[in-house]
Every structure is written in C-alpha cells, then in structure tokens.
Amino acid sequence: MKDKQQNILIIGAGLCGSLLALRLGQRGYNVTVMEMRPDMRKVDISAGRSINLAFSDRGIKAMNMVGILDKVMPLCIPMNGRMLHDLEGNTILSPYSGREEEYINSISRGGLNSLLLDEAEMHDNVTIHFNKKCLSVDFEKTTATFKDYNSQSEFVEDADVIFATDGAGSAMRKSYYLSKKFLFSFSQNWLSHGYKELSILPNENGDFKTFKNALHIWGRESFMLIALPNLDGSFTVTLFLSYDEGEYNFNNLTTKENVLEFFGKYFKDALELMPNLAEDFFENPTSPLGTVKCSPWHYKGNTLLMGDAAHAIVPFYGQGMNASFEDVTVLDQVLEEGHKDWETIFKIYESRRKKDTDAIADLAIDNFHEMKGHVNHPNFREKRKLEMALEKEFPEYASKYSLVTFNEDMGYQEAMLRGRAQDKAILNMLAEGTLNMEDDLKTNFEKVKVETDHILEEDRIAKNA
C-alpha cells in the first residue's frame, strides 16, 4: 500500500494492537488506537489477567522486525525446561530441547505491553487513547462507536481501515456476527477447566524460593499447577482445574480448609512455598478458557480481526501471544509485497494465516493433556529422552515441541503435521519394540525418519482419497 495518508484505526492496545500500531507507525501510516482500559503505565490493571507469559522464537522474530529485541530481552527470564514435580515432591528437569540455545522465556505481560506502547507512541503519526471502549463497528461504513469512560459520552470514529485487536471478546467480531450481512462462521469452545492465578513470593532476601530457570509443572492427570518466574524473585502460579468434576473442583473449593487439604494432598512441595495460598485463592478470580475460531476475518478491504480477536486459544502451548505477534509479522510481509489495495492484502493475509492459527489452536488442546498427564508416563519420558539425544546430535532433527516453538520460519500447520507424524512414529516403534534405545543413535534417527515419512505419506493419501 503506497497511500500512507490513510487513517488507520486500531481497536485494543493489548499485545497485538500495540505491536501493530508500532509497525504501521514505522511504515508511516496515520494510526489511531482506542483502548478500553486505563493506561497500564499509570494504573495497575493486572488483576485477574495472566501476569507473565512464555515468550519464544515467533515472538522474538516479531520484536526483531520492529527493532526492539534489545529492550525486550532484559524483561525475560530463560526457562530451559519443564521442572516436573511428583506427588512426593521429587523433581526432574526435562529440557525443552536437546540444543542448549533453544529455550523459552518468562516475560511480564505488563512490562512487554508497556514497552510496546512506549515504542509506538514515539512515532508522531501514532496516537493512543485510553478509557475508550468500542461498542460496535459498522464495517460497511468503516466507522466504530465508542464509549468514553471519562465523560460517559458516546462518539463515532471514522477511518479508512479498521483493525480489531480487542482480544477474545472482540466487539468487532460481535458486530460481524450480529449483522448477518455476510456469511460469517464462528465457534467458541470452552474447556471444562478454568484457571486461577496464585503466587510464590520471594524469600526474605528477595531470592527465588525454588529453581528459577524452569517452567514448573505439577501434573496430576485431571488437573495441574504450573509456575513461571518473575524478575522480582516471585513465581506466578496457575491452577488449572475443572469447574465441577472430580473430588476437588473450583465449585467445591469454598473454604480455606478445603483448599489447604487439596494442596496438601496433591501439591505438597508447592504448598510449603505458599503461606499466602488461601489469601490468593479467595482474592483472585477463577476464569474460563476457550478456543475461538471464525472466518472470514476481514470484511472487504474495510476491516480485519487480528490476534485473539480472530483466534483465541487455550494457553497450554504458550503460543497465544507469540501467534498474535506472528500475525503482525505475516501481515507485514504481505504489506512488503506492495499490493495495491487493502482487500487484496487482507485476502492474501487470511489465506496464508488461517491454516496456521487453526493448527496452533488444536495443538494447544493436545498440550493440555500432555502437560497434566502424559509428561509423567514412562513412554513419554522415553520418547523425550530419545528426542533430546537426536536434537543434540542431528541439527536437522526437531521434536514437535521444537518445531512449534523454535522453528519460527515454519508455519504452525506444517509443524503440527510433521510433529504429530514424528510422535506417532516414535511411540509406535517403542510400543512394537522396533526402536531400541540401546541401538546407536544414527540407526534410530534413520528409523524415525523413514517411519515419519511413511506416516506423512499415508496422511497425504488419506487426505486426498
């Protein structure tokens, strides 16, 4: 798009919206951003939202695109693997990759979002307004109606193009859906589990109470607890638990005694680090987890949904933010190609991107089961051991996790198809006894490659049949 004089309206200044504003600002467009909440750099608005996030290579690629990676890295704590805690409190560190340089990071949502806002606002052609809630979007006229929380009045904003990055409950997506003016498909699937954030505070010296450089997991088959480190020496702990199934669930954990009993039984070593547990438990909200898929994301060349507004996913692959950042990278690549109108740009963008966001949505559900249960199974551990060794020895090998997390130039769909085939190959051969862990690594590498290709070929034939 050559005409930079156009007015672009972005709804929502979260992670995706603020990165998009920065990138379009760098490209010279006139950008106005409207955010519902107060400015997070001035008011603490963290309550009830995930405080830290796993940030990995797809997110890093986006930060490189806008040239701020050097400012982002000081906000990160490397997490080299999963620290698995069993019922007795024994721990094993299971690396994310056999290659040392492949790890994920814990980053503060507020810290990263604030940095992106600062960077976007440095451009004279970017203006960000807070306390302005979008009520609806008229996508035919390319206007949006807002409520100003300061004056309590409503106003209409006119733009040449509107991007909605207003998260999982998107107002623009709702306008698409309610208008019935075009064929808009929409699905929202809730997990039976919700989540609640808790914390492990630093010790008296301000140090971490447990191992800092890991994502801690207490997987208990039907529920789990995880913890990610923060720069201040604390951990943000998240409990994923069913609302109403099982002996203990969110609906029946109603007293301090119940909560302490539950943690004492299933998360004994975590409980010892959490004298503040009951307080956190009853002060912090319980929130639902869902997957949103919809299409089309755009209406002609007028409007486009991006980030969670287009594809909210459950958090178990640590990819929602990374995928939302990758949306901006992919859109930027399409812009770079110099197409002449927004409709063409949006069409190309959606056709390239949708298959990948559908894939990461499905992978994230798979990983829910993997994290709470499979990581503890002997088969899984044997598979991981082999994969670690293969990754260490053969640069061309990458496990499914690595394909998704550390291979930022491969789309999620390809990572999913190849990764699933590889998993199936290894698990099948381990079960049949055709893969022997005592054999030399090269032999096993060849066997995995041949069997994976065979499965991929079968999948291709089945798909085309």
Instruction: Provide the binding-site residues for ligand FAD, judged by CB under 6 A.
Output: 11-17, 34-37, 50, 53-54, 133-134, 165-167, 171, 195, 238, 307-309, 315, 318-322, 324
**What is the nearest approach in angstroms of ligand FAD to the Cβ of residue 354?**
16
**What is the nearest approach in angstroms of ligand FAD to the Cβ of residue 198?**
12
Q: Which two tokens stand for residue 354?
A: 């949708």
Contacts of 361 (CB under 8 A, 6+ apart): 291, 293, 311, 313, 314
Q: Which is nearer to ligand FAD, 195 or 397 (CB)?
A: 195
**What is the nearest approach in angstroms of ligand FAD to the Cβ of residue 89?**
25
Measured in degrees and rounded to the nearest 5, phi and psi for residue 461 equal -65, -45
**Residue 26 CA, distance from chain mean position:** 25
**What is the nearest approach in angstroms of ligand FAD to the Cβ of residue 360?**
10
d(CA 160, CA 177): 21
Q: Which is nearer to ligand FAD, 275 or 285 (CB)?
A: 285
Residue count of the chain? 465
**What is the nearest approach in angstroms of ligand FAD to the Cβ of residue 132?**
6
Q: Which is nearer to ligand FAD, 35 or 387 (CB)?
A: 35
Nearest alpha carbon to residue 34 among 172, 155, 132, 125: 132
Q: Which is nearer to ligand FAD, 331 or 421 (CB)?
A: 331
Q: Which is nearer to ligand FAD, 59 or 296 (CB)?
A: 59
**What is the nearest approach in angstroms of ligand FAD to the Cβ of residue 306?**
7
Q: Which is nearer to ligand FAD, 171 or 274 (CB)?
A: 171
Report the relative pairing of strands 30-34 and 7-11 from DSSP bridges.
Answer: parallel
Are the C-beta atoms of residues 116 and 19 closer than 8 Å to each other? yes
Q: Which is nearer to ligand FAD, 54 or 274 (CB)?
A: 54
| Rg of the chain on CA atoms, in Å | 23
Q: Which two tokens stand for residue 325?
A: 């950042």
Q: Which is nearer to ligand FAD, 50 or 179 (CB)?
A: 50
**What is the nearest approach in angstroms of ligand FAD to the Cβ of residue 442?**
36
**What is the nearest approach in angstroms of ligand FAD to the Cβ of residue 249?**
18
Nearest alpha carbon to residue 175 among 151, 207, 141, 198: 141
**What is the nearest approach in angstroms of ligand FAD to the Cβ of residue 90?**
25
Q: Cα dihedral sign for 40, 42, 48, 50?
A: positive
d(CA 212, CA 253): 29
Structure-token match 């680090």, residue found = 273
Q: How far apart are the first and last CA of the chain?
A: 41
Contacts of 339 (CB under 8 A, 6+ apart): 1, 345, 348
Residue whose C-beta lies closest to ligand FAD = 14
Q: Which is nearer to ligand FAD, 35 or 102 (CB)?
A: 35
d(CA 106, CA 103): 10
DSSP 316: G
